[in-house]
Amino acid sequence: MPQTFHRSTNTLSKLSIFGALFLIVGSLFALAEVNRSGYVTQAGIAREQPVPFSHQHHVGGMGVDCRYCHTSVETSATAGIPPTKTCMNCHSQIWNQSPTLEPVRASFRTGQSIEWTRVHDLPDFAYFNHSAHVNKGVGCTTCHGPVDRMPLMWQYASLQMEWCLDCHRNPEKYVRPKEEVFSVAWQPPADQLEQGRALVKAYNIQTRTSCSTCHR
């Protein structure tokens, strides 16, 4: 009986088996990368807001402290979205005729809240607490990125669990002195790991990775 396939197909079949391995591994890798991409995580995508509030202008330009608006960041789980009253503290005096700010004035007039679009949205089964992090030397920009350069707010980090765990396992990579927590200009020093280790000790930071730390 003559051979159905030429001998060279042996090589071809070996190659294709080998190639299939690569294909499978490659597609798994690609899937993981897609899952980490901004398409899924929404990181890096600026959101439309009812009022085009600019952190770049207020934080970077005017130098307003984070806590002027996000008042409960040191005491509560949520940092707090400022009430309309906070906007009107200044904007009843300046830019008080600006058409862009009409929704703010309307809200103040009618008592109807401004409906902001949420940018940082953790899943409901993750219980994040701002005060616990801020009081232990985790700076605002560590998670929220260069807020002073964001005209419209966008999500800086992936907010995925591996991202959380990266810091929860090795906090020394990210912690900074408490007095720098609200600084947008702070940059990690060259010996961050060394300084970080000292801070972890000084601040009694516990590397907690138990599930119930965040999931209840």
Residues touching other proteins: how many (CB under 8 A)? 44
Shortest distance in whole angstroms from residue 29 CB to other proteins: 19
Q: Is 132 in the site for other proteins (CB under 8 A)?
A: yes
- Per-residue string for binding with other proteins, 58-97, x by CB under 8 A? --------------x-xxxxx-xxxxxx------------
φ, ψ at 20 (rounded to 5°): -60, -40
φ, ψ at 109 (rounded to 5°): -70, -50
Select from 92, 88, 95, 48 the least CA-distant residue to 69: 88
Q: Which of 107, 141, 142, 155 binds other proteins (CB under 8 A)?
A: 107
Q: Is 169 in the site for other proteins (CB under 8 A)?
A: no
Which positions ≥6 away from 154 have C-beta within 8 Å?
43, 44, 45, 46, 47, 119
Looking at residue 84, what DSSP letter applies? H
Q: Is 44 in the site for other proteins (CB under 8 A)?
A: no
Q: Is 112 in the site for other proteins (CB under 8 A)?
A: yes
CA distance 163 to 145: 14
Shortest distance in whole angstroms from residue 43 CB to other proteins: 12
Which positions ≥6 away from 189 have C-beta within 8 Å?
195
Residue closer to other proteins (CB basis): 59 or 205: 205
Q: Which of 13, 98, 129, 187 binds other proteins (CB under 8 A)?
A: 129
CA dihedral of 90, 93, 99, 105, whole degrees rounded to 10? 70
Structure tokens of 68?
């002027």
Residue closer to other proteins (CB basis): 6 or 216: 216
Q: Is 162 in the site for other proteins (CB under 8 A)?
A: no
CA distance 110 to 195: 51
Shortest distance in whole angstroms from residue 124 CB to other proteins: 7
Q: Is 37 in the site for other proteins (CB under 8 A)?
A: no
**Segment 10 to 29, residues that bind other proteins, using CB under 8 A:** none
Which positions ≥6 away from 142 have C-beta within 8 Å?
167, 174, 176
Binding site for other proteins (CB under 8 A): 40, 42, 72, 74-78, 80-85, 107-108, 111-118, 121, 123-125, 127, 129, 131-132, 135-136, 204, 206, 208-213, 215-216
